[in-house]
Structure 1
Amino acid sequence: MSRRLLALVAATAALAGCSAGGDAPEGLSEPATTASASAPAGATDEPTPSDDPDTSPAPQDEPRPSPTFTQPFLPPDEQSVIDLPAELVIEPPDDATDDERAVLVAAGRFMASWDAILFGAGDEQSDIFATSVEPQLGRLLNYLVESVSKQRVIVGEPTVIELRSVSVTAETAEVDICTVMRHWVQYTGGTPEPQPEVERLLLTMTRDGDGWRASDTAQADPEPCA
C-alpha cells in the first residue's frame, strides 16, 4: 500500500494500546550476590583453603536479544527475518545548523518506526510512541490494527532517504525527502502486490521538550526524486 493511502487513515486515539507484535524480552538477569560469614574467634591471618579468594568469573548480564524480527502474515515459503533499525540515516547538508541536524535525526527515527509498522512490527517494537505524535501517531496505529485484521505486511529493503530540504522554526520543522523502497511487495492475506519504488514525502516535525517528533506527513510530486 502506498504511503499516500496510509496518510488518509483517520487518527484513532483509542487504538493506542493495540499491538501487532509481542513485547520484546528484556533479556537481563539480576546479578548474583554472595553472603560473607564473620571470621571465627582466634582466627589467624594465615590463609586456609576456605579463605582462598574466589577466582570464579564475576556474574555477567545475559546478552540482549538480537534486534531481528520475524515478519508475520507471510506464506511459509516466503518467511522473512529482518533487522529493525532504530534510525534511517538522513544525511544533513554540510552547512546544516545544530537544530536542523537534530530535526533530521528525529525524522530518521520516525521513518524507521514507520518502516517497522509497514513490515509488521507492533507499537512497542516499532517505538512509534517515542517518534510521533497526533495526528500521525493515530494514523499509524490505525494502520497497524487494520494490518492485523487483513493479514497485511510489506517485505523489501529498508527505505533509503534522500534529503531535499529542511527548515526549522521555534516549534515546528519541515523536512522534504525522497524515499526509495527497493523490491517492496505487499502481502495481503498471502497475496503479493508490488509497490512503487520512489515517493516524495513532506514531514512536519513538532518540538517536544528538548527533542522532535513527527506530527504530520503529506505526499508531494515525486518528479524531483526520479
Structure 2
Amino acid sequence: MSRRALAVGAAVAAFLLPAGCSAAGEEPTGLGSSTGGADVTTSASAVPSDPPTVPGDDPSGPVTEPSAAFTPPYQPPGEERTVELHSELPIEAPADATDEELAVLQGAGRFMASWDAVLFGAGDEQSGLLRTAVDPQLGRLLNYMVESISKQRVVVGETTQLVLRDVSVNDTTAEVDVCTIMRDWVQYIGGTGEPQPEVERLVLTMSLVEGAWLASDTEQADPAPCE
C-alpha cells in the first residue's frame, strides 16, 4: 500500500516511544494484509491488557481529543508546517444506515484519525491508536512508528477526507470501503521530501472487541472508482 504499513512484536516497543515523538510517513509499501513487511502480533488477544491510561480511555466512548495543532518532526529547518490531529474523521453514512452500521463507521473514522496521526508523527498515546486498532493492523502501525524514528520519516499535509463506498456488517466483523483523499501530502525521509498520491482506496476490516468496533486489518483496492 502506498499509504500505510507496520508491525511490532510486543506493545513494549510502543511504550518506548514518547508521545509526540514517534514518526510517520512513507507507508508506501503497506499496511494491508497483502504487504510483505514483518507482521508480528502484539499479543494473543491482539488487545493490550494495560494500555496507557488517559482521560476517556474507554474504547466504546469518545476518544480523547488530541491537540488540534501539531508540528510533525523531521521536517527540514525553515520549512516546518503544522497539521491538525483529530479524534475521529467523519464518514458520511447512507440515509438508510442501521445503528450497527453507524457504530462501525464511527469506529472506522476513529481509526483513520489515529492512522493520520501516526503518519504525521504522533506517538501511540497522542494518536489514540491503542484504542482504535487491534492486531494485525495495530502491530503494523506500532512497527511503523519505530521504523519511522530510525529513518527520520514523517508525512505532512491536510487531514484525510473519507468518502464511503460501502459498509457491511456480519455479526462481529465488518468491512468499510472508503476513498481516502490526502491533499498536499509530502513525505520526508531524512529531510528529503517527496509528494504522495492524493487519492487512494482502502477496505478496512473492523472487529467487534468488548463492545467497540476496532480496525483489525486494511487492504488497498483499485482507486479508479475514487478518481
The TM-score, its normalising length taken from structure 1, stands at: 0.77
**Alpha-carbon deviation of 1:116?**
0.3
Alignment match, 2:71: 70
Alignment match, 2:9: 12
- The CA distance in 1 between the partners of 2:136 and 2:200, in whole Å, is 21
Query: Structure 1 66/106 Cα, relative in aligned 2: closer, same or farther at 3 Å?
Result: closer
**Alpha-carbon deviation of 1:71?**
1.1
Q: Which amino acid aligns with 1:178?
A: C
Asked whether the equivalents of residues 17 and 123 of structure 2 are also in contact (C-alpha less than 8 Å), the reply is yes
Question: For 2:78, what is the secondary structure of its paired residue?
Answer: helix
Q: Which amino acid aligns with 1:204?
A: T
The percentage of aligned residue pairs carrying the same residue is 63
The alignment's C-alpha RMSD in Å is: 2.3
**Alpha-carbon deviation of 1:83?**
2.1
* 4+ long deviations beyond 6 Å: none
Q: How does 1:38-117 map to 2 (within 5 A)?
A: 66-117=67-118
**Alpha-carbon deviation of 1:11?**
4.4
**Alpha-carbon deviation of 1:18?**
3.1
Alignment match, 2:186: 185
Query: Structure 1 146/85 Cα, relative in aligned 2: closer, same or farther at 3 Å?
Result: same
Q: Unaligned 5+ residue runs, structure 1?
A: 27-63
Higher relative contact order (CA 8 A, sep 6+): 2
Query: Structure 1 88/196 Cα, relative in aligned 2: closer, same or farther at 3 Å?
Result: same
- The CA distance in 2 between the partners of 1:104 and 1:160, in whole Å, is 14
Question: For 1:154, what is the secondary structure of its paired residue?
Answer: strand
Question: For 1:78, what is the secondary structure of its paired residue?
Answer: coil
Query: Structure 1 94/194 Cα, relative in aligned 2: closer, same or farther at 3 Å?
Result: same
Q: Which amino acid aligns with 2:9?
A: T
Q: Unaligned 5+ residue runs, structure 2?
A: 22-53, 55-64
Q: Say whether 1:199 aligns with 2:200.
A: yes
The structure with the greater share of residues assigned to helix is 1
- The CA distance in 1 between the partners of 2:119 and 2:125, in whole Å, is 14
Question: For 2:100, what is the secondary structure of its paired residue?
Answer: helix
The TM-score, its normalising length taken from structure 2, stands at: 0.76
Aligned residues: 186
Alignment match, 2:131: 130
Asked whether the equivalents of residues 86 and 109 of structure 1 are also in contact (C-alpha less than 8 Å), the reply is yes
Alignment match, 2:60: none
Give 2:19's match in structure 1, choosing from 21, 26, 29: 21
Alignment match, 2:25: none
Alignment match, 1:2: 2
Alignment match, 1:223: 224
